[in-house]
Structure 1
Amino acid sequence: MPQILKTRSTLLIALAASLAGCQHYTSLPLQTDASLAPSLAAIPDLPARALTVSEVATLAVTRNPDLLAVRAKAGVAEAQLVQAGVLPNPSLSGAILPLLSGAGSVSGWNLGLSQDIKALIVLKPRRRSARDSLNQVHADLLWQEWQVAGQARQLAGDIVLGERLRPMLEQAYELMAKRYTANRKALESGNSTLSTLAPSAGALQAARAAMLQQDQAQLANRHKLNALLGIAPDVTLPLADAIDLPAFDPREIRSMLATLPQRRPDLLALRAGYAAQDEQLRVAILSQFPDLILGASASSDNSKVISGGPNVQLGLPVFDRNQGNIAIARATRQQLNREYAARLDAVTGEVGALLSERDQIALQLAAARHDLDDSRAFADRAAKAFAASMLDERSFVDLLSNRFSKEQEVMTLELALFDRQVAIQTLIGTGLPAVDTLGFPDPGADGAAK
């Protein structure tokens, strides 16, 4: 009986020790209300002045709701890294066999302890794979921060340029409205005809349509920017008139194309994912060896005869040599290798295409600005000629409309040029956090080249 009590005490102590480190459940309720900032005062540390484009980009990286959700993914990857580094638990078995009948005099018992050796063999590659997966998550997060910052730059810049365009559209509308009102009064008094009124009426409608279209675009851009910043749509974010983006040098950007694999977070994420899969292939190859469990056991029969010693359990790889998992891991690695190559090609081509488009728009803008100078001069001369009754109404309105159309064309090209430059700077990371902030070495440098 003392031996039975001793065995029971050992089992209870082992059970209590295993329960001591257990985690406990705590609830995490979902929020019931949207967390959009209802006013500017609700945004912490927001300067009490108009924000620059760069400050808007920084604010977006800090407050963007999607980024806040993605950052939680890094916590999952960190937990998986912890799990990958945990040693497999040994197994403890035991039994008490009370005497039911026969020649014995006491209850029998047995106790065994065993460890899965195969789990120890694949521990290191599993841990390296989890580390590479965590690096991939961090690189993906940085890439999404680049995207959010680029969107914030573009939206804020578009709004600023749109505000510059609005006065010109208002001027065109007011001038056309003045001409239309004068011609209508002349028609009502019998001093004019419909043929005189028609040009000013058409020009007034075109000017009104352009102004309303611009207002719609501005409101849509502000709503998009507010959503990016986690702000309620009816809040107006004050923006500074100057656009403080980094200097744009096409020659420098072209020279940086060769180093994109070392500077683009999405490419580094793919390389880290490739490295993680390469380790998974190692795990699959190591797992083809037989299962091996080592241990020791002791037992006592009903006549107090105690015996003990080591024991081995060895799996026989007759049918399953893990060939299926090895083939899957190898094919997945090949797929990731091709995906990386395809992304690298796409990245280089995308930046090159945007640079070409940017150059074309720059040439078009230079020509439009030259034409604008002529249009302004013709409009000034037309105003003087019309005032001196040396020019008819239709020609006068046509020359004025041409000037405002050219003004709008120049602003549209400036906006297109700005958008291309922001897109290029986002793709190469100009003015954005560098990849060395990730804090991990260049992943998969050898594997990606295989």
Structure 2
Amino acid sequence: MNLRRSAAILSIALSGCVGYEERPVDLLQYEQLFAERPAAVQRAGTLVVEDGVSRGEAEVLALLFDPELRRRRAALVASLGIAENTGKWVDPQLGFEVGQQTADVARPGTIDVRLVFTVPLSGRLEAERAAAEAGVEAALREVLAAEWHARMQLRARWCEWSRAVEQLALQQELIAELEQKLQRLALLRSRGEIDAVELGNWELLLVQQRLQASSLSRECAGLEVELRQRMGFTPEAVLQLLPDASLTELPATTERLALLEVRNVDLATQRASYAVRERELLAAVRAQYPDLQLGPIFQMNSGIDAWLAGLWIPLPIFSGNDLGIAEAIGAREEARAELEGRWEQERHALRRAELDLEATQRDRALVESEWLPRLAEQRERLAKRSARGALDPLLELDLQMALGTARLRVLELRAAEAAATARVLEQIGPIERLDSNTEERN
């Protein structure tokens, strides 16, 4: 009867175990959900993308659907599960001891049934829970850092794509102007006012411009596919992306270092990692102290039943978890060195980003204030000379090429400045006001 009771207790204990359920991945089914994602976004009312996707909306979509961010959030869920199940009492142990007296085989044997509980007097479980909670904080910081980097990197790539789109539009305008120019030059050639070499140079320029337009078209298509990937949409999704290479507002130069210390997402992640090592060291120190083990003992000896109470306590004489403590101390010192090294890296990275931004701003100012105005003046002088009948097709060709190059360069530098601004902001970290654009604030 007592054995049946013990078996019943064991069955109840095993009934609390978690079962296993297989969950195979069906990529064909996922492909259908992947293709329907824009429509699902529309139905959910998350964003209205039918009138085009702006840069700010694309950043929101990237936060929702970027594959790497979704993977990191799944890892965060795993960390939460670990924290929820850390620091629990050790499961009780149910043991059986069966013996037979050898001196008198006629007498029945002995049976001991023990149920042992571990009472955490050392404070080890609280320290383990604190370490697990710090691990969740570190995992959360990693997700937030990844989300911030994803936003800023998408913003920079959006500026590059916008630059390519604007350059392609300008290139097509230049081609249209050249085609009109060639029609007039062909008329002059028919009159004998210019020779075949002069006309041929303009025709070669037109071919070069068409090749450049083809290259820009290919670049636009590649960048757009990349942006769609970052937003979590298929390459074929029916979406209109809206070019935007506007500048992001930055804090004053004198404030950036202080903001870097408190807002940089990678430093925050490293601090959280250091906090985990601190909590793990505390847990290792607490683990050297013994926990109390106690429980009832049911004994059947020679037909006589008895209830006893047992009490056990480990004696930390030889080890005392010295190895675990030494490893935890080493891990903490390594985390400290990583945090200090990360501070140095982020300071240098911020300065490099600032230098890149400053150089781009100088180049853009030089092109807009000197190169373009001088080319415009030169074009006006050449037009006046041509009006007097002094045609110079080669000089006009050189000027036309320089004007096209300068106009394309302006677009390139404006987009480069916007991308460099995003990289500076990426180094500083999230601030209260990210952008003066209304859609961005929304």
- TM-score relative to the length of structure 1: 0.84
Change (3 A) 1:154 1:236: farther
**1:145-176: CA deviation from partner (whole Å, max 9, x where unpaired):** 11111122223333333333333211222233
Match of 1:369 in 2: 368
How many Å separate the matches in 2 of 1:367 and 1:378? 17
Is this contact kept in 1: 2:248–2:418, CA < 8 A?
A: no
How many Å separate the matches in 1 of 2:92 and 2:378? 92
Change (3 A) 1:41 1:377: farther
Match of 1:8 in 2: 3
Change (3 A) 1:259 1:225: same
What is the CA distance between 1:119 and its match in structure 2? 8.6
Is this contact kept in 2: 1:170–1:211, CA < 8 A?
A: yes
Change (3 A) 1:287 1:97: same
Match of 1:30 in 2: 25
What is the CA distance between 1:225 and its match in structure 2? 0.2
Q: What letter corresponds to residue 73 of structure 1 in structure 2? A: A
SS of the equivalent of 2:113 reads: strand
Q: How does 1:12-411 map to 2 (within 5 A)?
A: 12-33=7-28, 34=31, 35-37=33-35, 40-41=38-39, 43-44=41-42, 45=45, 46-47=47-48, 48-95=50-97, 102=104, 104-116=106-118, 121-180=123-182, 183=185, 192-235=194-237, 237-241=239-243, 246-249=248-251, 251=252, 253-289=253-289, 293-302=293-302, 304=304, 306=306, 308-312=308-312, 314=314, 317-318=317-318, 320-370=319-369, 371-386=371-386, 388-411=388-411
SS of the equivalent of 2:134 reads: helix
How many Å separate the matches in 1 of 2:17 and 2:127? 27
How many Å separate the matches in 2 of 1:134 and 1:182? 72
How many Å separate the matches in 2 of 1:433 and 1:85? 41
Is this contact kept in 2: 1:118–1:287, CA < 8 A?
A: no
What is the CA distance between 1:92 and its match in structure 2? 1.8
What is the CA distance between 1:275 and its match in structure 2? 1.2
**1:107-149: CA deviation from partner (whole Å, max 9, x where unpaired):** 5321223234579642111111100000011111111111111
SS of the equivalent of 2:198 reads: helix
Change (3 A) 1:292 1:349: same
Is this contact kept in 1: 2:299–2:307, CA < 8 A?
A: yes
Change (3 A) 1:212 1:422: same
> Which shows bigger deviation, 401-410 or 352-361?
352-361
How many Å separate the matches in 2 of 1:284 and 1:384? 87
> Which shows bigger deviation, 166-175 or 394-403?
166-175
What is the CA distance between 1:306 and its match in structure 2? 4.1
How many Å separate the matches in 2 of 1:403 and 1:129? 64
Change (3 A) 1:165 1:384: farther
Is this contact kept in 1: 2:259–2:428, CA < 8 A?
A: no
Q: Does 1:414 align with 2:414?
A: yes
Change (3 A) 1:194 1:119: farther
Change (3 A) 1:161 1:226: same
Q: What letter corresponds to residue 193 of structure 1 in structure 2? A: D
Is this contact kept in 2: 1:156–1:239, CA < 8 A?
A: no
Superposition RMSD on alpha carbons, in Å?
Answer: 3.1
How many Å separate the matches in 2 of 1:130 and 1:158? 42
SS of the equivalent of 2:114 reads: strand
Q: What letter corresponds to residue 364 of structure 1 in structure 2? A: D
How many Å separate the matches in 2 of 1:135 and 1:40? 32
> Which shows bigger deviation, 104-113 or 166-175?
104-113
Q: What letter corresponds to residue 354 of structure 1 in structure 2? A: A
Is this contact kept in 1: 2:289–2:316, CA < 8 A?
A: no
What is the CA distance between 1:214 and its match in structure 2? 1.8
Change (3 A) 1:180 1:316: same
Change (3 A) 1:265 1:119: farther
Q: What letter corresponds to residue 27 of structure 1 in structure 2? A: E
Q: What letter corresponds to residue 365 of structure 1 in structure 2? A: R
> Which shows bigger deviation, 173-182 or 272-281?
173-182
What is the CA distance between 1:181 and its match in structure 2? 5.7
How many Å separate the matches in 1 of 2:37 and 2:106? 85
Gaps of 5+ in 1: 435-450
Gaps of 5+ in 2: 435-442
Q: What letter corresponds to residue 297 of structure 1 in structure 2? A: I
What is the CA distance between 1:40 and its match in structure 2? 4.3
How many Å separate the matches in 2 of 1:85 and 1:305? 37
Is this contact kept in 2: 1:108–1:304, CA < 8 A?
A: no
> Which shows bigger deviation, 160-169 or 73-82?
160-169
> Which shows bigger deviation, 115-124 or 12-21?
115-124
Change (3 A) 1:235 1:298: closer
How many Å separate the matches in 2 of 1:39 and 1:149? 20
Is this contact kept in 1: 2:385–2:391, CA < 8 A?
A: yes
> Which shows bigger deviation, 128-137 or 20-29?
20-29
**1:350-404: CA deviation from partner (whole Å, max 9, x where unpaired):** 1222122212211221110021122123224424533543131100111111111
**1:4-36: CA deviation from partner (whole Å, max 9, x where unpaired):** x1x224313322321332222222111323353
How many Å separate the matches in 2 of 1:337 and 1:155? 34
Change (3 A) 1:216 1:272: same
What is the CA distance between 1:204 and its match in structure 2? 2.1
How many Å separate the matches in 1 of 2:326 and 2:249? 50
How many Å separate the matches in 2 of 1:431 and 1:121? 40
What is the CA distance between 1:349 and its match in structure 2? 2.0
Is this contact kept in 2: 1:246–1:430, CA < 8 A?
A: no
How many Å separate the matches in 2 of 1:171 and 1:376? 17
